[in-house]
Amino acid sequence: MRTQVGIIGAGPAGLLLAQMLHQRGIDSVVLEARSRDYVEGRIRAGLLEQGAVDTLTEAGVADRLHREGLVHHGLALRFAGREERIDLTGLTGGKVVTIYGQQEAVKDMIARRLADGLPLHFEAADVAVHDIASHRPRITWRQDGREHALDCDVIAGCDGFHGICREAIPPADLTIYDRIYPFAWLGILSRSRPMSEELIYARHARGFALATMRSTTVSRLYLQCAPEEDLSQWSDERIWVELATRLGARDGELEVGPILQKGVTAMRSFVAEPMRHGRLFLAGDAAHIVPPTGAKGMNLAIADVRVLVRALEAFFAGRGEALMDAYSATCLDRVWKVQRFSWWMTQLLHRYDGEDAFEERVRMAELDYLAGSVAARTTLAENYVGLPYMD
């Protein structure tokens, strides 16, 4: 079998890449380790930057996103008994963010690819890449008890943080930047009215909390917890009490409902440089992880894909490899700015065990400064809605 671009991973990065290449007449095959049900049911990100929505729209996979997505013009910060609104739209010349579950975007892209009759293989086992430094890289995998091989011009490693593509690059050729935070998030999905029309990010002496949503009847709520938190210690009642305390919920503000899903997410900042080795290009979580506080992971994956599509379009049109050569540096420019923002939001809003009184007062002063300074709020807003694309 042969194709132009072999894509490993059917998350947001791999599926969007496949669709954008298809729009440009470039063939690809997508290989996914998990089942369709598993990929479509995985509950993760929910917040799309303005540019990410525009990108999905141009890719022709945003009809349902425009019907069902919830457009947000601002967010609230709660701390020290106060609430301060950040007017995202007013501070950014009219930009918005949109709440739409990542798994919904994934479902839309899978449906589109299958309806178009294009290759997307689920439950591909033992996926491996070969000869990545050559002009004929190859992918092998097992499926239905048979061995398969795919000759490619280029391989796109869109296989997430735990995938095999980054590992296929010789360690001596990669520089890794890694920071693990001393806390995690306990996230729930609940059948209950969202606490407010806009997201609430809360800093509390007991730790961070975030109230977000998936629809007008389904809430998504997060609590800072320990990295090795034992979920069995968190009864539904304990979760609701803790959420109400940290979010500073007023009477009737936080509706309690059945919890549909519970999970713990580790917090990490990670970058692998460069994002390319020979004919293997890494995109999305395969190359970098941000802590979720700034809501940037899926958005960054989409930004990488835009850059990769332009590079591959030029290459297959016979316009040479200059954009492919620039791919890693172009992506990393944004990646590091987004890393900085995600780290900053994280350290501003979380409780660090053992933090001394000086650090605590500095953090409070920073929140107070944000509340009082248009310049500081503008900095937050322009990063939150998404920096302009450089491609």
Select from 292, 327, 328, 335 the one that contacts ligand DHB (CB under 6 A). Answer: 292
Select from 120, 169, 295, 338 the one that contacts ligand FAD (CB under 6 A). Answer: 295
Task: Kindly calculate the radius of gyration of the chain based on its CA atoms and give it in whole angstroms.
Answer: 21
Cβ-proximal residues to 147 (8 Å cutoff; 6+ apart), any chain:
140, 141
Amino acid at 11: G
Residue 272 within binding range of ligand FAD, rule CB under 6 A: no
Which candidate in 12, 72, 100, 194 is catalytic? 72
Amino acid at 312: L
- Of 17-25, 167-175, 247-255, 289-297, the segment contacting ligand DHB by CB under 6 A is 289-297
- Is 177 marked active-site? no
Interface residues for ligand FAD in 99-138 (CB under 6 A)? 102, 124, 127
- Of 43-51, 231-239, 344-352, 368-376, the segment contacting ligand FAD by CB under 6 A is 43-51
Rounded CA-CA distance 140/118 in Å is 19
Residue 30 within binding range of ligand FAD, rule CB under 6 A: no
What single DSSP character describes residue 293?
G
Select from 6, 46, 69, 248 the one that contacts ligand FAD (CB under 6 A). Answer: 46
Rounded CA-CA distance 41/104 in Å is 9
- Is 369 marked active-site? no
Q: How far is the CB of 300 from ligand FAD (least distance, A)?
A: 7
- Is 72 marked active-site? yes
Quick one: angle between helices 322-349 and 297-316, nearest 10? Answer: 180
- CA 18 to chain CA centroid, Å, is 18
Q: If DSSP codes are grouped into helix, strand and coil, which group holds residue 356?
A: coil
The burial class, CB within 10 Å (0-12 / 13-18 / 19+), for 96 is middle
**What is the number of residues in the chain?**
391
Q: How far is the CB of 153 from ligand DHB (least distance, A)?
A: 36
Give every strand in the sheet of 120-121, ordered side by side: 120-121, 28-31, 5-8, 154-157, 280-282, 276-277
Rounded CA-CA distance 43/345 in Å is 22
Closer CB to ligand FAD, residue 157 or residue 248? Answer: 157
Q: How far is the CB of 277 from ligand FAD (least distance, A)?
A: 17
Paired sense of beta strands 125-130 and 120-121, if any: unpaired
Which candidate in 100, 201, 222, 327 is catalytic? 201
Which candidate in 12, 137, 194, 292 is catalytic? 292
Rounded CA-CA distance 132/139 in Å is 9
Residue 386 within binding range of ligand DHB, rule CB under 6 A: no
What's the angle, vertex CA 368, arms to CA 367 and CA 373, rounded to 5?
Answer: 100
Q: How far is the CB of 238 from ligand DHB (least distance, A)?
A: 21
Select from 212, 224, 269, 328 the one that contacts ligand DHB (CB under 6 A). Answer: 212
Contact between 296 and 290 (Cβ < 8 Å)? yes
Residue 46 within binding range of ligand DHB, rule CB under 6 A: yes
Among ligand DHB, ligand FAD, none, what does residue 9 contact (CB within 5–8 Å per kind)?
ligand FAD
Among ligand FAD, ligand DHB, none, what does residue 13 contact (CB within 5–8 Å per kind)?
ligand FAD
Q: How far is the CB of 45 from ligand FAD (least distance, A)?
A: 3
Contact between 220 and 214 (Cβ < 8 Å)? yes
Paired sense of beta strands 175-190 and 120-121, if any: unpaired
Query: Alpha carbon of 384 to those of 163, 249, 315, 317: distances in Å?
Result: 28, 24, 33, 35
Select from 95, 113, 204, 220 the one that contacts ligand DHB (CB under 6 A). Answer: 220
Which candidate in 181, 222, 327, 384 is catalytic? 384
Comparing CA positions, the residue from 229, 208, 165 lying closest to residue 31 is: 165
- Of 11-19, 315-323, 333-341, 377-385, the segment contacting ligand FAD by CB under 6 A is 11-19
Residue 47 within binding range of ligand DHB, rule CB under 6 A: yes
Q: Which residues are catalytic?
A: 72, 201, 292, 296, 384
- The residues binding ligand DHB (CB under 6 A) are 45-47, 99, 199, 212, 220, 292-293, 295
**Footprint on this chain of ligand FAD (rule: CB under 6 A):** 8-14, 31-34, 39, 44-47, 102, 124, 127, 158-160, 163-164, 187, 265, 284-285, 292, 295-299, 301
